[in-house]
Amino acid sequence: MTLTLPAGESSSVLASSSGEPSSRSSGRPVTSSHRADITRWMAGLHDELTSFFGRLDRGGTFIEDRWERPGGGGGVARVMTDGVTFEKAGINRSAVMGTLPEAAARRLGGTGATQGSTMFFATGVSLVVHPRSPMVPTVHLNVRYFELTDEQGRVTDRWFGGGTDLTPFYPHEDDPRTFHQALARMCERHHPAFYADFKAWCDRYFVNTHRDNEARGCGGIFFDHLRPDDPTHGRDAEALQAFVSDVARVLRFAYEPIVERRRDEPFGEREREFQLARRGRYVEFNLVHDRGTTFGLQTNARVESVLMSLPPLAMWQYAPRYAPGSFESRLMAMLAPRDWLSSS
């Protein structure tokens, strides 16, 4: 499947129509055209990512499934299950709105989220790719925009979130190094603190705390509640949208080189079994700790889309022990957070 969007199309859909700086919460009623523009922007990123992974797989096809949410909005799921390189690849987009359940409001923590009835609008693109070969890491990427409004339709809060992270199954240290170097270069174009701040956030977030704080993978970047004109980073809505667009496009430089150098490496049953066991830990994180999964289930989102991130096959071993010096033990050691820009 080939779906394309002009690469130069990056005009902001969030800048103030009056030319004034965008604020954290304008207090003005939201317009349907404003949300339609944001939704089109996300749809463009969705098309780009579908085209990218269709090409990178070298043979698989995406099936498309459009769905509607009873409470408002809907989305498009694209899933590949016949891939040459990827055992399963899912790339979803959604734009949903409605009344925010109390539990979800408390979890979000945005301004106005616990004051009376809070309405929400959320749109984003999320992907998870599970390769066939245990030599090729799993990758996850998500970009999103969130908006809260009060009962009169006035915006009380809005923010961006997202990130991307790498989950290897074999201790090739060059792979997370390639991944992090590409992320650092991309972040540096937007803010000198973005990479360091968002890498540290990612290292804290993707952790199975119920497994003695075992990391899910080798990290990447993660950010949430990134608000226009927030004093921490001082970027307006247009600049933040440009950053989020670059996050969505960074896998061409962060992930494609890894796939190209690992896709044909040989492996055996032992490597495959370890891959499936590590996928089990991936499943545990997504079902127990992941905010997106929890939010989707709390807001009656489409379950097939919410659980799209789960691998087609996984396994659980009872209290596994790995011999010192084995590739398994070296992989587990490689998961500990480190400075991938200077390590060698």
pLDDT digits (tens, 9 = 90+) for 283-312: 999 999 998 888 788 777 788 888 999 999
Q: What integer best gives the mean pLDDT of the chain?
A: 88
Return the pLDDT at 9: 32
What does CATH list as the number for 32-334? 3.40.1500.10
Pairwise pLDDT comparison (179 vs 19), residue with the higher score: 179
Would you say residue 4 has pLDDT above 50? no
Region 167-185: mean pLDDT is: 98
Selection from 278, 71, 250, 271 nearest residue 143 by Cα? 250
Pairwise pLDDT comparison (329 vs 7), residue with the higher score: 329
Given pLDDT bands bounded at 50, 70 and 90, which one contains residue 95?
A: very high
Please give the Cα distance from 137 to 278 (Å, whole number). 11
Please give the Cα distance from 15 to 38 (Å, whole number). 11
Return the pLDDT at 118: 80
Return the pLDDT at 69: 87
Output the furthest CA–CA distance in the chain (Å, rounded).
64
Question: Domain residue spans in the chain?
Answer: 32-334
Would you say residue 17 has pLDDT above 80? no
Token output for 338: 């480190």
Q: Strand order in 86-99's β-sheet?
A: 63-68, 73-80, 86-99, 119-131, 138-149, 155-167, 220-226
Return the pLDDT at 55: 98
Residue 296 DSSP label: H
Given pLDDT bands bounded at 50, 70 and 90, which one contains residue 29?
A: low
Pairwise pLDDT comparison (7 vs 286), residue with the higher score: 286
Would you say residue 179 has pLDDT above 60? yes
**pLDDT per residue as tens digits for the range 132-170:** 999 999 999 999 999 998 888 888 899 999 999 999 999
**CB proximity list for 317: less than 8 A, separation 6 or greater:** 277, 280
Q: Alpha-carbon dihedral of residues 271, 306, 250, 200, nearest 10 degrees?
A: -80
**CB proximity list for 266: less than 8 A, separation 6 or greater:** none
Region 25-51: mean pLDDT is: 85
**pLDDT per residue as tens digits for the range 190-235:** 999 999 999 999 999 999 999 999 999 999 999 999 999 899 999 9
- Which percentage of the chain shows pLDDT scores above 70? 86
Return the pLDDT at 19: 31
Active-site choice (140, 172, 190, 233): 140
Kindly provide the b/e burial profile for residues 255-283, where b requires at least 16 CB atoms within 10 angstroms of the residue's own CB.
Answer: bbebbeebbeeebeeebbebbbbbbebbe
Would you say residue 11 has pLDDT above 70? no
Given pLDDT bands bounded at 50, 70 and 90, which one contains residue 32?
A: confident
Active site (annotated) includes residue 130: no
Residue 211 DSSP label: G
Region 110-128: mean pLDDT is: 78
Return the pLDDT at 305: 86
Pair 42, 145: CB distance under 8 Å? yes
Q: Give Cα 251 to chain centroid, integer Å.
A: 12
Return the pLDDT at 137: 98
Return the pLDDT at 21: 31
Would you say residue 276 has pLDDT above 50? yes
Pairwise pLDDT comparison (53 vs 296), residue with the higher score: 53
Please give the Cα distance from 169 to 98 (Å, whole number). 40
Would you say residue 266 has pLDDT above 80? yes
Query: Please, how many CA atoms are within 13 Å of residue 320, restricted to the half-sphere of its CB?
Result: 18
Q: Cβ atoms within 10 A of the Cβ of 71, count?
A: 13
pTM: 0.89
Token output for 90: 């899912």
